[in-house]
């Protein structure tokens, strides 16, 4: 009788831990907020890929639920949401956070700056990641690059551009340091979301604007309201996508899960970049052949004028009152000069040679 009583009590005592094993108690349910509409081709797709990859690589120990722009916080509020702990993660681009510090802008894109491979090269091998961590640490965020759009385009223009003079007074959507470059040559730069840019072009509130490139841009319908599509996108030779993690939440992770978050971000960089490149090429062909888009190159005097303005923008960052901004800028410039000199012989040489071959 006593033995039966012991077994009954013992079974009841074991019931609770069997129903809720110790590993289940270690599951973290994280919210990811994004700057994008859900599953927007390009960044919206990449954000969901990142959420899924963290969940999978962690073996379900971190369950990431994605909230698209406006579902939990506005797209332009995701940085603050993670900084304040409302969400654990965000997916966006550094170009959106210039109001926090001008130094942040260099981690995403720079006028006449780094290509996608060079951008991640600077962070991984040129000292950029330590500076990235130091800057975002001011806001309680641990940052990682997790993708890149590759070269962005010069923009969609309602009218043809024949000279730098034609740009003066144009209302133009762009972001980051590109907006400062454009403002210096007389354009009225405005920051807004991709969907808002379509509406503004449609109503005439904007004369022109750039968002990303053919794949994402065509999904947003810009070809319906502006037919002149300009290249090269010297304002953003690449645009890095980032994952910002609440620093306290990140530090609370065991070492293996910290590596999971880092690896999930790093492993997506090339996958995202190459998907953009592949699908941009397909989308551009369709834009030209089916939608009547006119692909036009900026006149040389436009490029020269933009280049002079970009030099002024970077020059001011080198003299910024914030010592950290100055260090970030000098690190970027040094890496750009070093790798740029090499690319003259390497990638530039190969691309120029390949352009002269019209088929095998």
Angle (CA) 191-304-238 rounded to 5° is 50
> What letter does residue 141 receive in the DSSP assignment?
E
- Pair of tokens at residue 217: 């841009």
* 319 is annotated as contributing to ligand binding: no
Q: Where do the DSSP E strands lie in the chain? A: 28-34, 62-67, 89-92, 141-148, 155-157, 171-173, 188-190, 208-209, 228-231, 240-246, 294-297
Rounded Cα distance between 118 and 338, Å, is 10
Q: Encode 165-223 in three state secondary structure.
A: HHHCCCEEECCHHHHHHHHHCCCEEECCCHHHHHHHHHHCCCCEECCCCHHHHHHHCHH
**Is 190 annotated as a binding-site member?**
no
Return the sign of the alpha-carbon dihedral for residues 88, 94, 96, 100.
Answer: positive
CB distance 131 to 328 below 8 Å: yes
Q: Is 328 exposed, middle or buried (0-12, 13-18, 19+ CB in 10 A)?
A: buried
224 is in an annotated binding site: no
- Please check if 318 is assigned to a binding site: no
* 223 annotated among ligand-binding-site residues: no
Phi first, then psi: what are they for 138, rounded to 5°? -60, -25
CA distance 176 to 107: 10
- Residue numbers belonging to the annotated binding site for Na(+): 211
- Residue numbers belonging to the annotated binding site for substrate: 152, 173, 210, 236
- Residue numbers belonging to the annotated binding site: 152, 173, 210-211, 236
């Amino acid at each position: 009788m006593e033995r039966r009583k012991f077994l009954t009590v013992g079974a009841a005592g074991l019931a609770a831990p069997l129903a809720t094993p110790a590993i289940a108690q270690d599951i973290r349910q994280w919210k990811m907020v994004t700057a994008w509409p859900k599953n927007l081709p390009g960044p919206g797709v990449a954000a969901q890929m990142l959420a899924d990859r963290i969940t999978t690589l962690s073996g379900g120990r971190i369950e990431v639920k994605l909230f698209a722009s406006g579902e939990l916080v506005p797209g332009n509020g995701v940085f603050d949401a993670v900084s304040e702990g409302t969400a654990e993660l965000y997916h966006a681009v550094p170009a959106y956070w210039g109001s926090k510090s001008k130094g942040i802008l260099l981690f995403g894109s720079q006028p006449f700056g780094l290509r996608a491979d060079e951008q991640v090269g600077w962070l991984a091998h040129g000292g950029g990641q330590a500076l990235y961590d130091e800057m975002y640490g001011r806001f309680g965020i641990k940052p990682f690059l997790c993708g890149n759009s590759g070269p962005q385009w010069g923009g969609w223009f309602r009218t043809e551009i024949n000279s730098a003079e034609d740009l003066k007074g144009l209302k133009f959507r762009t972001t980051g340091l590109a907006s400062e470059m454009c403002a210096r040559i007389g354009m009225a730069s405005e920051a807004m979301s991709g969907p808002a840019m379509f509406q503004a072009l449609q109503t005439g509130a904007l004369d022109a604007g750039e968002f990303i490139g053919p794949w994402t841009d065509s999904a947003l319908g810009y070809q319906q309201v502006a037919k002149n599509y300009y290249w090269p996108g010297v304002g953003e030779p690449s645009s890095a996508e980032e994952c910002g993690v609440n620093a306290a939440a990140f530090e609370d992770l065991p070492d293996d899960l910290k590596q999971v978050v880092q690896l999930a971000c790093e492993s997506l960089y090339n996958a995202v970049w190459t998907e953009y490149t592949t699908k941009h090429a397909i989308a551009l062909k369709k834009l030209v052949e089916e939608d009547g888009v006119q692909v036009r190159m900026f006149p040389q005097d436009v490029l020269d004028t933009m280049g002079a303005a970009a030099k002024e923008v970077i020059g001011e960052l080198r003299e910024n009152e914030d010592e950290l901004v100055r260090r970030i800028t000098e690190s970027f410039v040094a890496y750009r000069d070093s790798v740029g000199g090499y690319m003259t012989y390497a990638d530039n040489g190969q691309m120029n040679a390949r352009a002269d071959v019209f088929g095998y």
